[in-house]
Amino acid sequence: MTEKAVKHVLYISYDGMTDSLGESQVISYLKELSKKGFKFTIISFEKKKAFEQKKHAIQKITDECNILWCPAMYTKKPPVISTLFDLWKMKKMAAALEKEHQYDVVHCRSYIAAMAGLYLKKITKGKIKFIFDMRGFWIEERVEGGMWDLKKPLFKIVYSFFKSQEQKFYQQSDKIVSLTDAGKGYIVKAEGINEKKIGVVPTCVDFELFKLTDLQQRNDLKKQLKIDADAKVFVYAGAVGGSYTTDLILKVYYYYKLYFKHTHLLLLAKDSLNADSLVTLDELEIKPDEITIIQSPFREVYRYLNIGSLGYVFYAKGWSNIARSPTKMGEYLACGLPTLVYGDIGDVNKLKNDLEIFITGDISQGSCFGLFAEIEKSTKAPQIMRSEAYEYCSLEKGVKFYDNIYHELMGETV
């Protein structure tokens, strides 16, 4: 490709690239898409601690891929005002970069970034193509997760404002990306958007990174963590708080312990957490020494998943779950780990016959014991679970999806 033929994409994310999510769900895609002839600029908003720890590692990756990374610092407080300040910075950066590079596409991850994308489309008089990569129903997630209390006048105003913006994203974007068919179906039916405008791709996994380890490696890691070699390890990887209350982890683990007897709970927490601070431990007769809490670097997570016997995915119940595609579900399955899912999440019900997924809508002894009996009977080998998951959520599938969208918006065929 000549320099003139290279297509430029501005990728805007309010998530940081030094966050695990940014590395797994942005950098990994753009790294591969760069090999297909696209040139990327990334605007991201970084949390101070993560940025200090990982900025050089991420900068090395972006430099190697000829990606221009323009990080800004995330502002946490005060609520609402901090977000408006960050949005002002985002728009200012985007406009300056657009003036210099004249991008073909602005690819916006979720709602805050989409506001900057809408702004760019306006100032370029529609020349730039705008992708609203929604990642879920963010507004409802904030309400259902307790972050926006609609009984308070301020949050009622914020809610109404973002709902009006959402309508603009739906109407004025050139392409909408949903993580689930269920989410797409709602937008088509309730919002009257042409289904051809909406693409669907689940959160995808780098199977080269999330790989299987051998028995010796697994035993060595268990020994290092002081977990008995024959203990059945219940794994939860991800955030804690908001839609991710620890009570929903500990209660399921309690039944897991009752059923299998010799067990251990492994929490791969994104947040700082101490076993003694988990308030329901005494009530559920769970001892702190049967819990291991790890804050693992993203590229080491697969090692811990491999020592698991069962992975757990959950969100607090809420309507917004129809648009969720759990990142961890794919990572568990890539590491040959059967997955227990709590609740009606995204397209999971459609997938249960194709993947090693077990679903419960009720955390009770009877319901959990029934599922554990099914899991115990399963003879599916880790390599088979992995192969089935690859068809559904491989990074290669995600890269092909976005490659097709970029070419479509640029009026080209792949």
* Confidence (pLDDT) at 1: 40
* Confidence (pLDDT) at 414: 59
Tell me, yes or no, if the two domains 7-202+395-409 and 215-393 fold the same way: yes
* Confidence (pLDDT) at 283: 81
Q: Which residues pair with 188 in a beta bridge?
A: none
pLDDT tens per residue across span 331-356: 999 999 999 999 899 999 999 989 99
* Confidence (pLDDT) at 246: 82
* Confidence (pLDDT) at 3: 44
Query: Could you tell me the residue ranges of all domains in the chain?
Result: 7-202+395-409, 215-393
Q: What percent of the chain has pLDDT over 70?
A: 94
Beta-carbon contacts of residue 7 (< 8 Å; ≥ 6 apart): 37, 38, 39, 104, 105, 406, 410
Nearest by Cα to 246 from 271, 225, 217, 218: 271
Distance separating alpha carbons of residues 33 and 7, to the nearest angstrom: 11
| pLDDT tier at 247, thresholds 50, 70, 90 | confident
To the nearest whole number, what is the mean pLDDT of the chain? Answer: 93
| pLDDT tier at 2, thresholds 50, 70, 90 | very low
* Confidence (pLDDT) at 119: 98
Distance separating alpha carbons of residues 131 and 169, to the nearest angstrom: 9
The whole-number average pLDDT for the span 44-53 is: 96
Per-residue tokens: 17:
């690239």
Question: Taking 60 as the threshold, does the pLDDT of residue 64 lie above it?
Answer: yes
Topology (CATH) of 215-393: Rossmann fold (3.40.50)
What CATH number has the domain spanning 7-202+395-409?
3.40.50.2000
